[in-house]
Amino acid sequence: MKLCEKIAEQMQSIYALRQEFVDAIEDGKKTKDFKPAHKIKDVYEGKYVKTVYKNIHPYINLIFLAVTYLSREGKAHGKKQLSEALNKIEVKGEAVHVPYSLTVGNKTADGPSDIMILPDDLVVDGDLDIWSYSIEKLPSKLKVKGDLNISGTTITEIPKGIEIGGDCKMQKTNIHQLPLNFKIKGDLDIRSTQIAWLPKGLHVGGSVYAQATGIDTIVDIPDDVVIEGDLHVRNKFNNNEALELKNQGIVKGEVYNHYN
């Protein structure tokens, strides 16, 4: 079901409740046991607010997803444009499918993002760039078909089951470990993080950039890790270790030592 249809469906029940409130006021005026209007108003508006929160609040962040897309594309946020963007979002059960790239927050501004939480089971067909300090964790079962960039954010964990079709950039974050069997198709950039070892089962389709991390020796890289591209580390690996990584098939490209 399209997101617009889902929201419209929920709004119908809210409008019906609002009309029920108006009718109750009118009926109350005609009866002898009339209750003060403000009493009826309190009861119905209480229900109204709760219904709005329950039925619409889960979709507020999805509406902002559409807004971030329009901002990224330089499009106006008018009713027509927003409706078109929302109509591209599909909701299947708990899963949310966004068929375009998203930029959450503004990399040139310090203000908080409108989006506080990304929905679980989120699928993004393009890239997902997060520049917001308001988002503290990634959703479970996140699937990004393009690149994922969370560099410089307050995110501290990569959840299990995440899928990334392009590059994964997380430099200058407080992430201290990656999940087991973590697989990405592009490059992995973990520079200036707290990561001190690579996880078992890691498979990187591109290169790994691990300068300014705790990865100092071959011991920090399990023998079932596969890096299809190059490995960039700070100047702690000796030539024998670099050669062993290549001979074992862990690194298919080259091992580069960096002094900074």
| Number of domains the chain contains | 1
8 Å CB contact between 193 and 170: yes
pLDDT, greater one: 194 or 236: 194
Give the per-residue pLDDT at 256: 92
Classify residue 165: in a domain, yes or no.
no
* Residue 37 within any structural domain of the chain: yes
For residue 44, tell me if it sits in a domain: yes
The CA distance from 153 to 170, in Å, is 8
Q: Indicate the pLDDT class of residue 109, thresholds 50, 70 and 90.
A: very low
pLDDT (tens digit per residue) in 69-91: 777 788 877 767 777 887 787 77
What are the tens digits of pLDDT across the range 24-51? 656 655 554 545 555 555 555 565 555 5
Domain assignment present for 79: yes
Query: What is the percentage of the chain residues whose pLDDT exceeds 90?
Result: 42
Residue 42 is assigned to a structural domain of this protein: yes
At 237 the pLDDT is 81
Query: Is 229 part of any domain?
Result: no
Average pLDDT over the chain reads: 79
Q: Is residue 72 part of a domain?
A: yes
Which residue range forms the structural domain that includes residue 63? Answer: 1-92
Tokens of 156: 């501290």
Phi-psi region of 157 (alpha: psi -120 to 50; beta: other; left: phi over 0): beta
CB 214, CB 195: distance < 8 Å: yes
Q: Is residue 51 part of a domain?
A: yes
CB 64 within 8 Å of CB 82: no
Give the max Cα distance, the chain: 95
> Does the pLDDT at position 249 exceed 90?
yes
